[in-house]
């Protein structure tokens, strides 16, 4: 029996993908390396991400409810998996590159510190004088520098398409990135990046609707007032909670694919990923409910504020006692400086590991 070689997969991409899709045959890396006989460049990116310790740690990092509070809440890991499968399906429907889409989706939250966005704010404040902190920039730093299984100094050496896609959004002034990603050298991001971005939003508003009800932040009667909920119930009046949320997810995904396909056909030279105006408004309504009743609820904020204090405590401890950093982190001290190395070290921790470290610090200095 014949087997499919990498070149065959690349040919398939050339024949079948949309003209604005990324082609793995044209992928470039900072450090050139021999091709793989079986996998395309983007498939290798995906595999390197999945095999990295930074990816495994996402299972114990907070999405909204602290990762150790219950077995059924989403963690960054399950969130990333949900985004990945949704984005892959949409990429397939639109003729975009599924493997690149998957790699971007699995990597998109790698740079999140413990305790979600409040963790990010705490580190950004602490690093004010040293280039700041933001999760997207940190994600690139992890794959470019911190994860370095082959000790080449090029990290996971992912393709430039994946790295550029991970960098979307604001970057603090002075944040240390590889030269090719500096603002003057920055090239446009692939369309697959914008697709993952949309799917990220659809994934979290839908799963946070589920987790918010599960956590008792609001009830089903509150959710039933949402236009999206009513739309889903029109389709299936007898749907229970989980079926309704699953219908909402499908509604948003079908709308994303149909609206984008239409936009690509009408404006072939200005490709954009789009949702219909009506569903943008209805998604905003759901997001507003989540922000008021869930993200800013006492229950969530109390745990997060405590997490924030612990991040400060750990960071200050490692800046004062860099000899207590891990061996690998200590090797970066000379090049990166004590503040950035301590920040990387704390940002890489899972929620529960940070708690353990701070307990140790407090016990040692009590
Ligand atoms: Mg995300």
Rounded Cα gap, residues 162 and 196, in angstroms: 11
pLDDT at 256: 98
Rounded Cα gap, residues 146 and 52, in angstroms: 11
pLDDT confidence of 68, banded at 50, 70, 90? low
Instruction: Tell me the per-residue pLDDT of 133-142, one tens digit each, with 9 for 90 and over.
Output: 999 999 999 9
Report how far apart, in Å, the C-alpha atoms of 89 and of each of 85, 95, 201, 261 are.
6, 10, 15, 14
Whole-number Å distance, alpha carbon 12 to ligand 1 midpoint, is: 30
* Res. 143: pLDDT tops 60: yes
Which residues hold their Cβ within 5 A of ligand 1, which is an ion?
109, 200
Whole-number Å distance, alpha carbon 58 to ligand 1 midpoint, is: 11
pLDDT confidence of 1, banded at 50, 70, 90? low
pLDDT at 160: 96
Whole-number Å distance, alpha carbon 109 to ligand 1 midpoint, is: 5
Q: What phi and psi, each to the nearest 5 degrees, are found at residue 185?
A: -95, -5
Rounded Cα gap, residues 290 and 219, in angstroms: 12
pLDDT: which is higher, 230 or 300: 230
Whole-number Å distance, alpha carbon 8 to ligand 1 midpoint, is: 33
Whole-number Å distance, alpha carbon 108 to ligand 1 midpoint, is: 6
* Res. 36: pLDDT tops 70: yes
* Res. 173: pLDDT tops 80: yes
């Amino acid at each position: 029996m014949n087997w499919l070689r990498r070149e065959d997969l690349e040919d398939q991409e050339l024949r079948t993908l949309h003209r604005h899709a990324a082609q793995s045959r044209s992928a470039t890396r900072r450090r050139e390396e021999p091709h793989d006989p079986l996998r395309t460049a983007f498939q290798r990116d995906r595999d390197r991400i999945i095999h990295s310790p930074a990816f495994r740690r996402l299972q114990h990092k907070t999405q909204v409810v602290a990762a150790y509070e219950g077995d059924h809440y989403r963690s960054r890991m399950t969130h990333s998996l949900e985004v990945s499968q949704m984005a892959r399906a949409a990429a397939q429907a639109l003729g975009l590159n599924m493997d690149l889409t998957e790699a971007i989706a699995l990597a998109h939250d790698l740079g999140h510190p413990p305790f979600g966005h409040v963790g990010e704010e705490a580190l950004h404040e602490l690093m004010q004088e040293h280039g700041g902190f933001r999760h997207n920039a940190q994600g690139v730093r992890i794959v470019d520098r911190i994860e370095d299984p082959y000790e080449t100094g090029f990290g996971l050496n992912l393709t430039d398409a994946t790295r550029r896609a991970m960098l979307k959004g604001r970057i603090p002034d002075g944040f240390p990135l590889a030269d090719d990603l500096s603002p003057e050298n920055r090239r446009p991001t692939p369309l697959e990046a914008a697709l993952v971005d949309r799917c990220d939003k659809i994934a979290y508003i839908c799963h946070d609707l589920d987790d918010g009800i599960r956590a008792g932040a609001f009830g089903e009667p509150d959710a039933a007032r949402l236009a999206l909920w009513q739309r889903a119930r029109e389709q299936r009046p007898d749907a229970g909670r989980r079926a309704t949320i699953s219908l909402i997810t499908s509604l948003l995904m079908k709308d994303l694919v149909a609206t984008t396909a239409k936009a690509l056909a009408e404006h072939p030279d200005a490709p954009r990923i789009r949702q219909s105006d009506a569903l943008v408004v209805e998604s905003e309504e759901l997001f507003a409910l989540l922000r008021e009743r869930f993200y800013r609820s006492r229950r969530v904020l109390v745990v997060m504020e405590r997490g924030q204090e612990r991040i400060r405590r750990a960071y200050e401890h490692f800046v004062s006692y860099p000899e207590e950093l891990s061996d690998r982190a200590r090797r970066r001290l000379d090049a990166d400086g004590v503040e950035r190395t301590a920040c990387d070290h704390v940002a890489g921790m899972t929620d529960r590991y940070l708690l353990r470290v701070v307990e140790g610090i407090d016990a040692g200095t009590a």
